[in-house]
Amino acid sequence: EQLRLSTISDLPASTIDGVQVKLLANIGFNLEIKSANIRHAEGIGLYRTEFEYMDRSTWPTEEQLYETYRSMIERLQGRPFVIRTLDIGADKRLPYFDLPDEDNPSLGLRAIRFSLAYPEIFRTQLRAIVRASLHGPIKVMYPFIASVEEVREANRLLDEVRTQLAAQLGREIPPLKTGIMVEIPAAGTIIDLLADEVEFFSIGTNDLVQYILAADRMNTRVSPVYDPYHPAVIRVFRQIAEAAQQAGKTVSVCGELAGVPDYLPVWLGLGITRLSMAPPAILTVKKRVRSLSADRCRELVRDLFTCKTSEEIKAKIAEFNRLIE
């Protein structure tokens, strides 16, 4: 299997009816950028920066973060690089920072909420990102956005940091493109409003499914409820895709579902052609892309909206996948 996959590594990720699909990598540690699988990716679609913070005994300094981001950007040689700002809280703790206990940590002060509550910590990361952006293209992505106000505040801090740095360095620093993770249902329903603030959206299916269905993504006792084929989930995905496309903004997917080959017809059927996934999945997904017709995927998705249950949806997708194998 590995051999057959390697033969397609140099072929384009395009469907049989000519739709180009961008396949990007999710990474958690800067060193992963050196792994062999990365070369199959068109770039990094999600860099989970919190792991660099979790793997230390004290806060990283601006200089350390800058060095990390700069070395990554140099290795990417102009390929896309999406840095997600700190997504700490919930299950992701820092050994050197005592976060207060919360009754419902996954509904608590995590991700962008944490960054906005501790602006000095956020500014340090933003300064490192802005400095690194002088060495290559970086897009900044905010996790766990629920409102327009949060995006505005994050963008305001980013802009403030950039202006200060430009003055200090005595040179222009072009604005960075920003985007948000769509992983809270509220964000999914106000894409048109958020579109005025950002350049792109990325659907974080891991959390989005959890919050749509109120089922903990890590709790095996409710894993049957955590169901990516639930009609509500597919409806929310469609709503996001359509609203983003209408606003003329890029929409990608960066949750685990982006790398599930059987789910691919749903993404292509919704017009989503930018997928960021765990690096080992890239070639398998590319192989599947090359066997699909985007037109047929669109028909499939139309058909899915006649289904009332997850069972029916799953069966229709499975049949579709069987036919193309």
Q: Which residues are catalytic?
A: 254
What, of Mg ion, ligand PEP, none, does residue 48 touch, CB below 5 to 8 Å by kind? ligand PEP
Query: Going along the chain, which residue ranges are E strands?
Result: 22-27, 44-48, 81-84, 139-142, 177-182, 200-203, 250-253, 274-277
279 binds Mg ion (CB under 5 A): no
Find out whether 195 and 151 touch, Cβ atoms under 8 Å.
Answer: no
Stretch that binds ligand PEP, among 51-59, 120-128, 201-209, 237-245 (CB under 6 A): 201-209
Find out whether 42 and 107 touch, Cβ atoms under 8 Å.
Answer: no
Q: Please give the biggest Cα pair distance in the chain.
A: 61
Six token digits for residue 254: 């960066």
Residue written as token pair 């090359």: 290
Q: CB of residue 255 vs ligand PEP: minimum separation in angstroms?
A: 3
Closest to Mg ion by CB, 60 or 204: 204
222 exposure class (CB count in 10 Å sphere: 0-12, 13-18, 19+): middle
To the nearest 10°, the Cα dihedral for 159, 83, 206, 214? -20
Q: CB of residue 48 vs ligand PEP: minimum separation in angstroms?
A: 5
Residue 56 assigned ligand-binding role: no
259 binds Mg ion (CB under 5 A): no
Instruction: State how far the Cα of 201 lies from the Cα of 211, in Å rounded to an integer.
Output: 18
Stretch that binds Mg ion, among 96-104, 128-136, 182-190, 261-269 (CB under 5 A): 182-190
204 binds ligand PEP (CB under 6 A): yes
What, of Mg ion, ligand PEP, none, does residue 205 touch, CB below 5 to 8 Å by kind? ligand PEP
Residue 84 assigned ligand-binding role: yes
Q: Which of 50, 52, 150, 183 binds Mg ion (CB under 5 A)?
A: 183
Q: Which of 40, 48, 110, 139 binds ligand PEP (CB under 6 A)?
A: 48
254 binds ligand PEP (CB under 6 A): yes
The pattern of x and - marking residues 49 through 68 that bind ligand PEP according to CB under 6 A reads --------------------
